[in-house]
Amino acid sequence: MIEEKRGTLYLCATPIGNLEDITYRAVRILKEVDIIAAEDTRHTKKLLNHFEITTPLTSYYRYNKEGKGKILLHRLLKGENIALVSDAGMPGISDPGYELVKLVVDSGLRVVPVPGVSAVTAALAASGLDTRQFYFQGFLPSKKKEREAELQKLKDYTCTLVFYESPHRIKDTLQSISTVLGERKTAVARELTKKFEEFIRGNLSQVIKHFEEEPPKGEFTIVVEGSKLPEGPETVDIHILVEEVFQKVSEGANKKEEIKRIAREAGIPKRELYEAVLKREKKV
């Protein structure tokens, strides 16, 4: 019996500003697939026209993701290849693309990332802050109470924190970060890769003052230094250890064995890490 051919979902990163940042591979795949699913077809059409890509477009965004997701899955099952793109950057990061990816993966079909520029890593790399460990939050809630409650969860994280924000909320968000996290070194990247790209660096109070004097324009990525823990050889960030446990378990490792190993290597009681993992599981 001949096995029926199934299609592939390609996750194609697109430029976040400068069109030269798209990869040769992404352009080739966008030309070769049967259809491109885009967050905003009007926005993506401009990109396709620039690179003379004539592949048919269809919309896949927040308000049609459930119905359109099933349609796209059906097309993949019939053997068609589909490229998923967002307005900028890697699809699936802070957009509904991850739900389509989950649907396709759960159906046993192939998903292929076609990486490219990312506002997260671009801002982090040029921030001047510690890049060894970081936590990407994405967009914080728009309402002050919910936003500050979310920030409370991050208050003790010692790794660098990265957020996305829009121009009309940037001042409120920076003020909430200052209120909850206190004075910290910060770098705010504006209009990354575009003509008016800019980095505003300094303490939070200095950055807030800048935006009080200069009306914010463009899209922003906020990078904030992590919490400072008391110095000493036994100091350890339990949140990072918990993330390591979850990562190893997702790769097929035994949870109890990993908790034991990671706690031993970090020099903390196994029970302390076990309770932190249980607490995290209850939140999921």
pLDDT band at 265 (very low <50, low <70, confident <90, very high): confident
User: 272: which residues sit within 8 A by CB, 6+ positions away?
Assistant: 238, 263
Give whole-number Cα distances, 168 to 134, 143, 174, 232, 263, in Å. 25, 13, 12, 42, 44
For the stretch 106-146, pLDDT in tens is 999 999 999 999 999 999 999 999 999 999 999 999 999 99
- CATH architecture, range 120-224: 2-Layer Sandwich (3.30)
DSSP 214: S
In 3D space, the residue among 9, 25, 161, 13 whose CA is nearest the CA of residue 99 turns out to be 9
DSSP 279: H
pLDDT band at 94 (very low <50, low <70, confident <90, very high): confident
Q: What is the C-alpha to C-alpha distance for residues 169 and 190, in angstroms, rounded to an integer?
A: 13
Asked if 223 and 129 count as a contact pair (C-beta separation under 8 A), the reply is yes
Long-range contacts of 202-206 (CB under 8 A, 24+ apart): 204/174, 204/177, 204/178, 205/178
pLDDT at 232: 46
Asked if 160 and 135 count as a contact pair (C-beta separation under 8 A), the reply is yes
Tell me what the mean pLDDT of segment 148-171 comes to: 96
For the stretch 188-236, pLDDT in tens is 999 999 999 999 999 999 999 999 998 899 899 999 999 986 554 445 6
The residue extents of the domains of the chain are 8-117, 120-224, 238-283
pLDDT at 3: 52
Question: 210 in helix, strand or coil?
Answer: helix
Tell me what the mean pLDDT of segment 160-179 comes to: 96
pLDDT at 235: 56
Report how many helices (DSSP H) and strands (DSSP E) the chain contains, helices first: 11, 10
Percent of the chain surpassing pLDDT 70: 95
What is the topology classification, in CATH, of domain 8-117?
A: Cobalt-precorrin-4 Transmethylase; domain 1 (3.40.1010)
The owner of tokens 């001042």 is 171
